[in-house]
């Protein structure tokens, strides 16, 4: 008789280099946000307006990184079963 083997759940181990890479990429995202903020801020604007601008840039960037990560992992899981 034919018996189908059950698939084992995928176990992902977070070793030291993985955590370091994630931390490094998060830092690069923050630095990119800071450079974008410096280019877009206005000297005539108040500190509150500039802070609001930075928070908006940062929020869009974080959401973009998270969405890209979810999309990448979803496509990876579909491609590799």
Q: What is the pLDDT of residues 18-67, one digit of tens each?
A: 677 777 887 888 888 888 888 888 888 888 988 898 899 889 888 888 88
HSE toward the beta carbon, residue 62, CA cutoff 13 A? 9
Q: For the whole model, what pTM was predicted? A: 0.61
Going by C-beta distance under 8 Å and a sequence separation of 6 or more, which residues neighbour residue 45? Answer: 53
**In 2-46, which residue ranges form alpha helices assigned H by DSSP?**
16-40
Note whether 62 and 79 are within 8 A (CB). Answer: no
């Amino acid at each position: 008789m034919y018996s189908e083997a059950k698939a084992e759940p995928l176990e992902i181990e977070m070793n030291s280099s993985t955590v370091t890479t994630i931390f490094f990429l998060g830092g690069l995202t923050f630095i990119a946000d800071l450079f974008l903020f410096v280019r877009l801020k206005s000297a005539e604007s108040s500190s509150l307006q500039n802070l609001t601008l930075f928070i908006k840039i940062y929020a869009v960037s974080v959401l973009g990184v998270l969405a890209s990560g979810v999309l990448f992992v979803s496509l990876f899981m579909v491609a590799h079963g």
